[in-house]
Structure 1
Amino acid sequence: MSRQVVIKRLNTTMLVKIGLLSAITIVMGTTGLGFIPIQPFKLTIMHIPVIIGAILEGPLAGGLIGLMFGLFSIYQNLVNPTVVSFAFYNPLVSVLPRILIGVSAYYVYKLFAKFNESVGIAVGAALGSLTNTVGVLGMIYILYLSEYLAAKGTTAKVVFSAGALNGSIEAVLAAVITLPIVLAVNKMKKK
């Protein structure tokens, strides 16, 4: 992609929207509003601004908002470390999956929106959310499995079963939250 094409796609309005949605993600992370503690899980909704940005503005915007989410994830693990923070210092774990949230959400949305706009939004949001879960857990599995399991003091079956259940709940939550927001923004755009 040439530099002129990227500059043409990144206009001032889009940059403002990317900045706003990135800021929302960071505020959600720093205040704790991006996490819903439902025992035994800590569901995240921090990826929802990434999904909304991708569906409304395209994969480039979604990818950039995801980049900000991923960079914030590294920062958050540096300032508030946990026993598994070592895995999140690696951008392949903390940044790459977050960039791919926006890319996958957009293209899944476009595929399904051909048939029904609401279905496209919901499925795009759910699969964008699952991209985060599968991407992060997949990279941990590939890069840090034994160290991660030792730090958690558990087995791979427990970690990945919990991750699958947690990720499924987050995917449904992402679809439920994203759908009305995107529909409302699209309705306002038409006025």
Structure 2
Amino acid sequence: MEPIILASSSPRRQDILKMLGIPFQVIMPNIDEAIAAATVDTEEMPELLAREKVAEVLHSLPPAQKIPWILGADTVIVKNGKIYGKPENQEQAEEFLHDFQGSTHTVITALALYNGRTKTTTSKTAHTKVTFAPMSDAEIQWYLDTGEWHGAAGGYRIQSLASIFISKIEGSQSCVTGLPISELYAILNEQGYTILE
């Protein structure tokens, strides 16, 4: 298989590529997500950011370098029209969890894939609804004390301890983790990249 450049430092996204046996290297894009996010509707924001991450990595590489594939992804959480990104501190993570407990929110993850043969970028978007059980203040504080909220969209990690508070998932868990596997497989297939080797 040809190596893919992953335009993300997310360990979860790297774990999924490793699980699928896809060789990759990580190059972190340097984009201002806040500026990009201010220009589009909530639903379109992940796709825009995923595409911008790919474009930034593409432009950062030497012009003469042969670039086979670049994969970008972006995840946002939406509830009642409000976007929840990565909490800036524990207080904000606590606010997020209070908003989520006992209710349902939507996780949107978009993928963008650059194909070096066709010099085009295609994208796919996945949606998953996540329902949290009611949480007491003590439970929220216990979860905050674990530190899992650091660097996680919405302030929780569904693949770890937060799962004990999640009562229902409608859609794929990998979408919430940050790299929807079904959509990834589909976009790779469409572009002629096979993992069946």
Same fold judged by TM-score > 0.5? Answer: no
TM-score (norm 2): 0.31
Q: TM-score, normalised by structure 1?
A: 0.32
Greater strand fraction, Structure 1 or Structure 2: 2
